[in-house]
Amino acid sequence: MQQSPLAPLTKKTLSDIARESLSRYIGQMLNAGQTKLPSEVELARILSVSRTTIRRALTDLEGKGTIMRIHGKGTFINPNLNQMKLDLYTGHDYYQLIRKSGFEPGVKVLSRVVQEASPLQRSDLGLKEDDQILALNKVYYADEKPCLLCINYFPQTLYDWDTLSDEVLEAFPFELIQEYAGIRCVRDSTEITTAGGNEVMAYTMGEDLLQCDSLLILDSIYYDNNNTPVFLSKTYFNTDYIKFTMIRAIEQI
């Protein structure tokens, strides 16, 4: 069932390459104390691509909060860039999240339990009654202090999870799913709620791992490219360590 461990099939578009090139350029500009980027036509000429491609790259960077475009004036580096640490939209990779927040990341598998799927989980995953799921509890550390708790719910039928060691299960769930079940997840649907700090104790054998009075919760359903639900995840963030930031355009009426 295992796929080839080779080649995660990197396939970059021209605008991806342009975006990365622009990112590097912006880093140099910051060091040089500059704030205004060349015009779009100028960038297109320099990089030898069409203006459309440049605009796509710039739109991506704008969405990430790296730059700001002002109609009639130009494109500028976001002056608050240093404060813009994490955006929700690329918040899947907890290791990067913790590192970008300025801490040294770590992870440990707390427990793995095969259990009956709840009615809501059955509905989310399209399971039948009596179907079982593997609940995988992981805690992530920032500078060796627990900062987030993540629970993944995999359908038991996806793979024979017992054969995998804790070390393997510490990887990202996407990678596990792709590597061992041969399924590639391409999107998720995530709900944002909160909870009191004591809610996670049930998952940590009564131990108050995340010592804070409130938690940010992201509840996600992950889908493959056929829009079939693959697995669930529920993550509790201590927002003392992990602060998400975003740039929002205000819709004019």
**Footprint of a second copy (CB under 8 A):** 8-11, 65, 68, 70-71, 76, 79-80, 84, 88-92, 174, 184-197, 213-216, 220, 222, 225-227, 239, 243-253
Sign of the Cα torsion 93, 99, 103, 108 reads positive
Q: Please report how the helices 40-47 and 14-31 are oriented relative to each other, as an axis angle in degrees rounded to 10.
A: 110
- CA dihedral in degrees (93, 96, 97, 99; nearest 10)? 160
Which does residue 208 bind out of DNA, a second copy, none, counting CB within 5 to 8 angstroms by kind?
none
Distance CA 173, CA 158 (A): 12
Mark 13-52 with x for binding to DNA (rule: CB under 7 A) and - for no binding. xxxx--------------------x-xxxx------xxxx
Collapsing DSSP to helix, strand or coil, 71 comes out as coil
Q: Which of 21, 60, 63, 69 binds DNA (CB under 7 A)?
A: 69
Number of residues that bind DNA (CB under 7 A): 27
- Nearest distance in Å: CB 235, DNA: 27
Q: What angle do CA 43, 47, 51 make, to 5 degrees?
A: 55
Distance, in Å, from the CA atom of 59 to the CA atom of 53, rounded to the nearest integer, reads 10
Shorter beta-carbon distance to DNA: residue 37 or 150: 37
Strand partners, 151: 137, 234
* Helix, coil or strand: residue 139: strand
- The neighbouring-strand residues paired with 58 are none
Does the footprint of DNA cover residue 70 (CB under 7 A)? yes
**From the list DNA, a second copy, none, partner contacted by residue 39 (C-beta under 5 to 8 A by kind):** DNA
Ranges within 180-239 binding DNA (CB under 7 A): 225-226
- Smaller CB distance to a second copy: residue 91 or 106? 91
63 near DNA (CB under 7 A): no
Beta-sheet pairing, 74-77 with 214-224 = unpaired
Smallest distance from DNA to CB 7, Å: 13
The binding site for DNA (CB under 7 A) comprises 11, 13-16, 37, 39-42, 49-53, 55-56, 58, 69-75, 225-226
